[in-house]
Structure 1
Amino acid sequence: MTAIEPHSEQSRHHQPSLLHWRGKVKDALKLAGGQSSSAALLFGDADLGDDALCADIYSLLSTGAIPQMWASEERATVMEIVQEVERAEAKGKEEELAHGLDSEEEEEEEDGDIAKEEGHSEWLAAHTKFADRCHHRLHIILCMSPLGDLVRTRLRQFPALARRCVIDWYADYPASALHAVAQRCLMKLELDEKFIPVCSQMCEHMQSSVVLEAGVTWPGRCHSSFMSYLELLGVFMRMLVSTREQVKRQETKFSEGLEGVKILSEALASLRGKSSSMEPELESRIEQIRQIDSDILAQEGAVEEARAALLAEEVAAHEPFTRAAAIKAECEAELATIDNAMGEAQTMLDHLTTQELAEVRNMRNPSNTIKKVLEIVCIMKGQRTVRVRDDSSSSVAAHTDSWPASQKVLQDPSFLQWIQKFDKEHVSISIVKMVTKMLADEDVEAPKVLRSSKAVYSLYCWVQAVIQYDQISKAVKPKRQALAAAEAERAEINARREAREEELQ
């Protein structure tokens, strides 16, 4: 018998497609129908789970063929096989068929037009004879586990499985067989010969007792197959190997530990000998250490006194530190207020353009508010105003007309640059007094100035910020002096403390 590659081997890792399966069947049918040798197909549980594959097996068992399997271009090959068989039978040389056809290409050249000439009836006759030969020469082996419903379901779906197949029901392995299998497996582990029979008997007893207990406790529901026994042997062998390795590791560990203990014992004996010879020197060193201890005790008193003095200086330094921090915080808070005002005024001046100043300069009849604000700017710049006579009045008194001076200041191309570089740190006392007095005028109030002109309001905010800065800086000046004195005192105390710490070290 010539065995075809088992179909179960093809489906072990993936389920084959129906096209692949039928290709294998065609090869087997050509072998069984065209040669004198038989062929066999082997199937397992994994293959019989496919209904289409089971239907093809059912057809092969019943008729030796699968309906609509041969394509039109393959029919010529089947007919050539049948004609070759008929010629061999006519000559009485059927043994020549064992060698197969010489070459598919040569036969295609000689008989390539057979299918076209003979027609459909000849194909049916040839296919019938081919199927009969395949039916007698093709053997199908189905391997199914009795566990579960697979066998019952397939027999109900395909009755030919029972009629066309010889059923071999393999019973459980006897105890002697289980014992022999266990011995064969355990011999691979290089186990001591006296343990092999005992371990084999133990494994066989476990399998037999499980089968017996399962039949009594769960009849018909729980089965222990031979694969379970093989798995038991595998688990036992793996556990044995693992335990051996663990024991070897422990043995190595203990051996290394004993070796270490031996080395330590030798080192201890050597140290004992050295310590005996060094006892006089040790006594001398002990005496020296005692003398050093007494010296240290004598020095500790002086150190404690120095520490007390250092602590007193730290306590004394705490007050200047606190005072300096408070003064610094107060100064920073007051300066932050004026810095914000100066920042806002500077932002407004940054957006002030010469065009806006020109619009103010070209006013023909500006309000008193605008005149007074620009007069303040003239005072800040040091621009002299003009005294004029009032002709509309009978009085001979003259008054100050600041508008021409203001126009002159606004006409100066470097006016904005002068504001940006104005030295707010050195404003004269007379200017501050004069400007402060003029800012108290009811015509020079922020809302009125803002309504009069946006550009004039920017100049007004700048003047206010400069005057506030001057007032706050003068108020902060004594505090800065006090801060400098406190920081100098703190630096002196820190120097003394560092000197004390160096002495303690």
Structure 2
Amino acid sequence: LWVHETMRVFYDRLIDDKDRTWLVDAVKACVKDIFKESFDAVFEHLANNGRGGAKVSEEDLRSLLFGDFLRPDLEVEERFYEEVKVIDTMYSIVEKAVEEYNSTHKTKMNLVVFRYVLEHLSRICRILRLPGGNALLVGVGGSGRQSLTRLAAAMANYDVHQPEITKNYGVYEFREDCKKVMKMSGAQNKPTVFLLTDSQIKDERFLEDIDSLLNTGEVPNLFPADERGEIMEAVAGQAAASQTDGDKNADFGPLALFQFFVNRVRDNLHIVLAFSPIGDAFRSRLRQFPSLINCCTLDWFQAWPEDALERVAKKFLEQVDIKDSEKDACVDIVKHFHTTTQRLSEKFYSKLQRYNYVTPTSYLQAISGFKMLITQKQNEIMAAKRRYVKGLDQLAFAEQQVGKMRTELEALQPQLQESAKQTAAMLVDIEIQSRQAGQTREVVVAEEAVVNAKAIDANKLKEECEHDLSAAMPALEAAINALDTLKPADITEIRTMQQPPSTVRKVLASVCVLTNRQPDRKHDPNNPGKKIIDYWAPAKKALGEMDFINQLKTFDKDHIAPEVMKKLREEYLTDADLEPKRVMQASVAAHGLILFVRAMDVYDRIAKEVAPKKAKLEEVDKEVRELEATLTEKRSQLAQVESRLKRLQNDLDSAQKRKAQLEFEVDLCAKKLVRAQKLIGGLGGEKSRWTLAAENLQKIYDNLLGDVLVSSGVIGYLGAFTSAFRDEATQ
């Protein structure tokens, strides 16, 4: 711990290698003479990569690191200031801290962690954790001073404030920033880092205020009376709480309260100045403002060691799409650029008395330029090559297509000829089928005319029959109506007559004859040896039937036997007693029955007259049905012919479309063949030129890695040199 603190207090201030070596030797002597310990034995874990058994050199002491950041899970106040015994542990802690920083800040930190970073990070962390600790970080641009300060503050949970320099930024704005950080650290009791770079010092009066802050913790006359009052009001309670119990003499006057505020500022405000040693401004500022040296812990950011250069280069090249062996070679070459440019700068100064500073920024510019250019140029060259290759592929494809089109054309010609033959044959077949269909259609039309004529005749006969029969319908309907008027009592009256009148007997006898009911035969009372016909008993029996009247209504009037009608007409209907008026006088029921019998007579007479017409009608209907059956068959034949004709027509249409498509394909193929032959003929000379151009681009692509490396090195390092020195460096 003593050696580490000695190195931080004294060693970090030295810039001359001889002075540093002398200090290390003095420390070794003190350890031996005062602590009575062997320096190499105490620090053997630092030598020979921790394997011991070797002398501890000044370079080995770079690994002697202390800090309170090894236990980041603890609160800041609970952490221990302890030695970093395993450097890999600190690597993982710092990398995790970088991840946390990037996840909580808008501005991301692209920080590559290597031992150089760990050394300076531990020094800055040590300074910030000291009450009133201020730092003067001296180094060239790109050495990581600002990034490490921000990371160290984040690891300690400190706030960082850095002026935002604008075009109109001046003393007033700077003092407002000073007020802000003083209030944060003094009134709010927040540990605060005030980060300021030499490029942000637009006015030397900025340093006057910084000098006052470093010396006294305040800037004279910075706060007007009202703001001082606000500050004293803000710290009054904190000042009272900080006094020990029972201290009755405590002073809480305005001066004491403001002094309490100033003391807080001195403890909590950590001013970190990031200056570059290049130029006269640095020396003059240190002479003019000695507090920059006296009140700050110095940390010189020396040139990056070789391991730092290598680690940064590898980190930047991780995402570059090249082989690992090529990445390793690129790292070695960029390191070579950096070291050789340093020697070239010395030669440049010795010959021309002109300075050129080789900074980490140059190194980062060279790597970043390579990273950007290699991808850009790879894409450009491959895009150009692809254009030529695509053109060659198109030519090859055209040549291939010419052969295919010739083969296709040869295959299409026979198909076209065959299609033409099929179409012609179909046309002949359709013509034949059309003639057959026409003939069949003529037959059908003629037969339809015959059938229609016969149907007209049949309709006429039917109308005549219906007209003739309609003459009998009134009488028949009157008889049916008369039957409807008969009541069961009327029937019962006749049936129960013991001595019915002869008129009634005759009426019932006529009904029995009409309905073909057989009479009884019995002896004639006037002549016992003779039998007579008697219809009274069958008539009474018929009258006793429940559906007698209904039987008469449904009587089959169209099929009455001729002998029945003859007997009725000869024996009954000519009888004067059977006149309806006389019968009405004898019996109402008998009157209805005689009307029915006479209606049957009228109907039968007319039906007999109509019978020949009906027979003729049946004959004509039969003939019409036969003709219609023949016509239906002819129509079916016609439908079949027309269906076949339609199919043939559809086949013809398809064949014609196929033929037209084949003709189109043949024509298109021929045109394509002509165009392809013209294309090949026109670009035949370009094929060799394009092939050569594609090969040359591939060679350029193969050598691109080295070309881009050299270009990036020239851009990053050789801008300040004359052409002669540039030629020397590139050779």
User: With structure 1 as the length reference, what TM-score do the two structures score?
Assistant: 0.45
| Greater Rg by CA | 2
Higher normalized contact order (CA 8 Å, seq sep 6+, divided by chain length): 2
User: With structure 2 as the length reference, what TM-score do the two structures score?
Assistant: 0.32
